[in-house]
């Protein structure tokens, strides 16, 4: 089963981008959120990257989270 990069439905602060990215990379969502904040403070690119990912990342399908077996 391949991993898909999707926005999270369950761990949402704004749009689920950071949680979805953290799930894909297998890291803590707080770490990804911190990176977005640091990128924003160190040049303003964090907000732009977040908005772009919000637009291009599909919403997580609820049936993908249900594991059978």
Q: What is the full per-residue pLDDT of the chain (69 aa) written as tens digits?
A: 567 888 887 777 788 888 889 989 999 999 999 999 999 999 889 899 999 999 998 888 776 556 655
Identify the pLDDT of residue 12: 76
Domain extent listing, the chain: 17-57
Give 43-49 contacts, CB < 8 A, sequence gap 24+: none
Token pair in block for residue 60: 């997580």
| pLDDT value of residue 8 | 80
* pLDDT of the residue at 63: 64
The predicted model scores a pTM of 0.75
């Amino acid at each position: 089963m391949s991993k898909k990069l999707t926005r999270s439905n369950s761990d949402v602060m704004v749009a689920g981008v950071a949680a979805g990215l953290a799930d894909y990379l297998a890291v803590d969502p707080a770490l990804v959120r911190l990176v977005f904040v640091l990128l924003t403070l160190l040049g303003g690119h964090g907000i732009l990257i977040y908005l772009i990912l919000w637009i291009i990342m599909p919403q997580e399908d609820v049936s993908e989270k249900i594991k059978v077996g």
